[in-house]
A and B are shown apart, each in its own frame.
Chain A
Amino acid sequence: MSLNALNMRTDTDPMATANIAAKIRAVGVDVHYHDKQALFQVDLTIPANTVTALIGPSGCGKSTFLRCLNRMNDIIDGCRISGALTLDGRDLYAPDIDVVALRARVGMVFQKPNPFPKSIYENVAFGPHIHGLADDRAALDHIVETSLRRAGLFDEVSDRLHDTATSLSGGQQQRLCIARAIAVEPEVILMDEPCSALDPIATAKVEELIDELRQRYTIVIVTHSMQQAARVSQRTAFFHLGEVVEDGETAQIFTDPRDERTQAYITGRIG
Chain B
Amino acid sequence: MTDSSKPDTGIGHDKFTSQRLRRRHRAERRFRLYGVMAVALSLCCLTALFSSVFSKAYTIFGQTEIALDIQFDQAVIDPSGKRQRKALIGADYGALIKAGLGASFPQVSGRRDKRALRQLVSSGAVYELQELVLQDPNLVDRHKRVWLAAADDVDMYRKGLIAGGAQGNGRISAKQAAWLDDLARRGQLERHFNWRFFTSGDSREPEQAGILGAAVGSLLTLLICLALAFPLGVMSAVYLEEFAPRNRWTDLIEVNINNLAAVPSIVFGLLGLSVLLGTLALPRSAPLVGGIVLALMTLPTVIIAARAALQAVPPSIREAALGVGASTQQVVWHHVLPLAMPGILTGTIIGMARALGETAPLLMIGMVAFIVDIPTGPTDPATVLPVQIFLWADAPERAFAERAAAAIIVLLAFLITMNLGAVLLRRRFEQRW
Contact = CB atoms under 8 A, between A and B. Distances in A.
B51 interface: no
Given A75-B318, A110-B320, A112-B316, A117 B326 contact: no
Nearest to A123: B320
A120 to B, nearest CB: 13
B417 interface: no
Contacts of B86: none
A124 to B, nearest CB: 10
**Chain B interface size range:** 20 to 34
Interface in B81-129: none
B322 A180 contact: no
- Which of B317, B325, B339, B433 gathers the greatest number of chain A CB atoms within 10 Å? B325
B316 A126 contact: no
A130 B316 CA distance: 19
21 contacts: A72-B322, A72-B323, A75-B319, A75-B322, A77-B246, A103-B325, A104-B325, A110-B319, A110-B323, A116-B317, A116-B335, A117-B433, A126-B324, A127-B324, A127-B326, A130-B326, A130-B330, A130-B334, A131-B325, A166-B433, A181-B324
A114 B316 contact: yes
B325 A127 contact: yes
B320 A116 contact: yes
A-B pairs, 4 with minimum CB distance: A104-B325, A127-B324, A114-B316, A103-B325
Interface string A93-136: 00000001111100110101011111000000011001100000
Interface in A112-168: 112, 114-118, 126-127, 130-131, 164, 166
Contacts of A77: 246
Contacts of B327: 100, 130
Contacts of B320: 110, 114-116, 177, 180
Contact of A126 (B326, B339, B433): B326
Interface string A68-91: 001010010100000000000000
B177 interface: no
Contacts of A130: 324-327, 330, 334
Interface string B326-348: 11001000110001000000000
Interface string B227-251: 0000000000000000000100000
A184 interface: yes
B401 to A, nearest CB: 52
A164 B432 contact: yes
Contacts of B433: 117, 164, 166
B326 A100 contact: yes
A115 B320 CA distance: 7
Contact of B319 (A107, A114, A180): A114
Nearest to B315: A75
A164 B338 CA distance: 15
Contacts of B334: 126, 130
Contacts of A110: 316, 319-320, 323
Nearest to B433: A117
